[in-house]
Chain A
Amino acid sequence: MEPKATKEKKELTVEQQINRRNFISFTSFAVLAGSAFGGWRWLSNSPQETAGITAGAKAPLRRALNKTELIFRNFFSSNHLVKTYPKSRAAKHVRVNSDIGIEENKKFDPATWKLEIIKKGGEVLKITLDELKKLPKTELIYDFKCVEGWDQISHWAGVKFIDLIEHYHLGEYTQMQYVGMETPDKTYYVGIDMPSAVHPQTILAYEVNDKPLPWGNGAPLRLIIPVKYGIKNLKRIGTITFSNTRPRDYWAEQGYDYYSGL
């Protein structure tokens, strides 16, 4: 190693090089680690979002959920079907995880129940269960997935949502962005994006395991939507609405992702 005399500046010794590079890299490391920690502090101390259609999440995390929804909506296709199973795989005892909106002490008479579809201008289309049962029946045996992490293969039957739409000439409403569904007492409610609602496996179910829905599974009519977590599968449907903005959604108000798509 001969020192080169071409430059005025003295070349650094190995020791100096080591110190110099250590100083630069450790300083950068400390600055980056510090800003990462600062970023984490900012995120964990960030305020809750302003309560509206969605609520209960930290504001930046809600923004991230909504952005992530937009990205994953690109992967959605009505040709992507949930896996179906033979009848023998279906659970005999279908899990009842929640009774919000259908609590036993609530007044409810299944005999006088009618599905109400709110049309433009406030006109209400009322449909009885017998009328629904006259439409083509669709059976679906699939793995029901709960946001909590459990899943259960279960056997449902009812009317495809898209069949209902077509039969009652509601096709123009599918041009809108969202479908809202609420229980008759309006204490449980979900909002579903239109592509998921008109997915060929989305059904309004009135049977489970070939029998009419029991109270706990959402009698007389419930939503079964395999492209969503269980939280969107509303039991005891009272009203159906259409809108271009997000309808209110029970769990999206509790910090959960509005989309909750699978």
Chain B
Amino acid sequence: MKVIKEKHPLLMRWTHWVNFPVLTIMIWSGMLIYWANDEYTITLFGHKFFSFFPEWFYRALKIPHRLSEGMAFHFLFMWFFALNGVFYILYSIISGEWRELVPKKNSFKEAWLVLLHDLHIIKTAPPQNKYNAAQRIAYTAIIVMGLGSLITGLAIYKPVQFYYLTWLCGGYHFARVLHFVLTLGYVFFFIIHIVQVILAGWNNFRSVISGFEVINEPAEIINETSIQPSTANGTESN
């Protein structure tokens, strides 16, 4: 029989879906700003493999000559980005949800097994609660990255008033590099995330909108588990 299993609290869903368009706007307006001094490349042993960004890319996205516009958008939406992140972090701490999120001692070892399982190399995945070990690492990393974008952003936005942040980020020049690399990180995360969400299927996707998953449990098993609680679904192995 079908059973409703609660998964994502409302505030998690809310901040997730607010963050998606806000971060998209931040990345877009960030590119309008970056264009004005687009100096970053991937250069190894004197050979330039890639330069951020190729001309066709700029033209396709209508990026050139929009620095002031980019700054105006960036410095408005930064407020939503930061506040949304603060809400999420505060909520996670107060509600105790962070326990489901941050990696545990064995998560790094387990994440490898999750990866092998996802690549169909091994058959069984380690037991999990809300997030598996790989998700714990990835989703915690993305929150830390968000905080990193906020700090490196402030370090280049007000390098004199927030000189200690600029110092923390290794100086003005390096803070700008970090701010850019973190953005590349979001794009990389986004690609993996989308692929995983598609592979995980509808039930999982719906839970980030409705908050719950539907689980099929044969009635007998439900009765059994009430007598022997340790056999069935996900007990934390620590």
Chain A positions within 8 Å of B, measured between CB atoms, are: 14-15, 17-18, 21-22, 25-26, 29, 32-33, 36, 40, 56-58, 61-62, 64-65, 68, 72, 75-77, 80-83, 143, 145-151, 226-227, 251, 254-257, 261-262
Q: Is B142 an interface residue (CB 8 A)?
A: no
Within the complex, the shortest CB–CB distance from B28 to chain A, in Å, comes to 11
Q: Which of B86-94, B98-106, B108-116, B203-211 contacts the other chain? A: B203-211
Task: Give the chain A neighbours of B212 by CB distance below 8 A.
Answer: 18, 21
Which of B25, B72, B206 touches A22 (beta carbons < 8 Å)? B206
Of all chain A residues, which has the CB nearest B22?
A36
Closest chain A residue to B162, Cβ basis: A75
| Cβ–Cβ < 8 Å partners of A257 in chain B | 71-72, 75
* Inter-chain contacts of B68 with A (CB < 8 A): 56-57, 251, 254-256
The total of Cβ contacts below 8 Å across the A-B interface reads 107
Contact A25 B209 (CB under 8 A): yes
Which B residues touch A22, using CB under 8 A?
Answer: 206, 210
How far is B13's CA from A33's CA once the two chains are assembled, in angstroms? 13
Q: Are A26 and B162 in contact (CB under 8 A)?
A: no
**Can you name 28 A-B residue pairings with CB atoms under 8 Å?**
A14-B2, A15-B2, A17-B4, A18-B4, A21-B210, A21-B211, A33-B17, A57-B68, A57-B69, A57-B72, A61-B69, A64-B75, A64-B76, A68-B75, A76-B161, A82-B159, A82-B160, A143-B159, A145-B159, A147-B67, A149-B33, A149-B34, A149-B176, A151-B173, A227-B160, A261-B158, A262-B159, A262-B161
A-B contacts besides A18-B2, A68-B76, A148-B67, 13 pairs, CB < 8 Å: A29-B17, A33-B17, A56-B68, A61-B76, A64-B76, A65-B72, A72-B161, A77-B161, A80-B160, A143-B159, A150-B37, A257-B72, A262-B159
Q: For the complex of A and B, list the 10 residue pairs with the smallest distance between their C-beta atoms, beginning with the closest.
A: A149-B37, A255-B68, A61-B72, A148-B36, A64-B76, A25-B210, A75-B161, A148-B37, A256-B68, A262-B160
Contact-size category for B: 35 or more
Interface residue? B214 (CB, 8 A): yes
Does B72 contact A255, Cβ atoms closer than 8 Å? yes
Chain B residues in contact with chain A, CB under 8 A?
Answer: 1-4, 17, 21, 25, 33-34, 36-37, 39, 67-69, 71-73, 75-76, 79, 158-163, 166-167, 172-173, 176, 206, 209-212, 214
CB neighbours of B166 from chain A (8 A)? 83
CB-CB nearest in chain A for B21? A36
Nearest A residue to B25, CB-CB: A40
- A22 and B2 CA atoms in complex are apart in Å by 15
B172 lies within 8 A of A72 (CB): no
When the two chains form the complex, which single residue of B2, B162, B172 contacts A145, counting CB atoms closer than 8 Å? B172
Question: Across the two chains, which residue of chain B brings its CB closest to A148?
Answer: B36
B contact residues around A36 at 8 Å (CB):
21
Contact residues of A: prevailing secondary structure: mixed
Q: A256 near B71 (CB under 8 angstroms)?
A: yes
CB within 8 A of A32: which of B17, B33, B39, B71? B17
* Minimum distance in angstroms from A32 CB to a CB of chain B: 7
How distant is the Cα of A72 from the Cα of B161 in the complex, in angstroms? 9
Min distance, Cβ A1 to any Cβ of chain B, angstroms: 9
Chain A residue numbers with a CB within 8 Å of B167 are 83
Q: Is the CB of A81 within 8 A of B75?
A: no
Which of A62, A80, A262 lies in contact with B72, CB distance below 8 A? Answer: A62
Q: Do A80 and B210 touch (CB < 8 A)? A: no
CA of A80 to CA of B172 in the docked complex: distance in angstroms? 15
A17 to B, closest residue via Cβ: B4
Among A14, A56, A149, A227, contact of B3 (Cβ-Cβ < 8 Å): A14
Contact across chains for B36 and A149 when beta carbons are under 8 A apart = yes
Distance (Å) between the CB of A92 and the closest chain B CB? Answer: 18
In the assembled complex, how far is the CB of residue B207 from the closest CB belonging to chain A, in whole angstroms?
10
Which of B21, B159, B160 is most buried by chain A, counting CB atoms within 10 A of its CB? B160
The answer to whether B39 touches A150 (Cβ under 8 A) is yes
Partner of A26, one of B3, B36, B210: B210
Distance from B34 Cβ to chain A, minimum over Cβ atoms (Å)? 7
Query: How far is it, in angstroms, between the C-alpha of A261 and the C-alpha of B73 when the chains are bound?
Result: 17
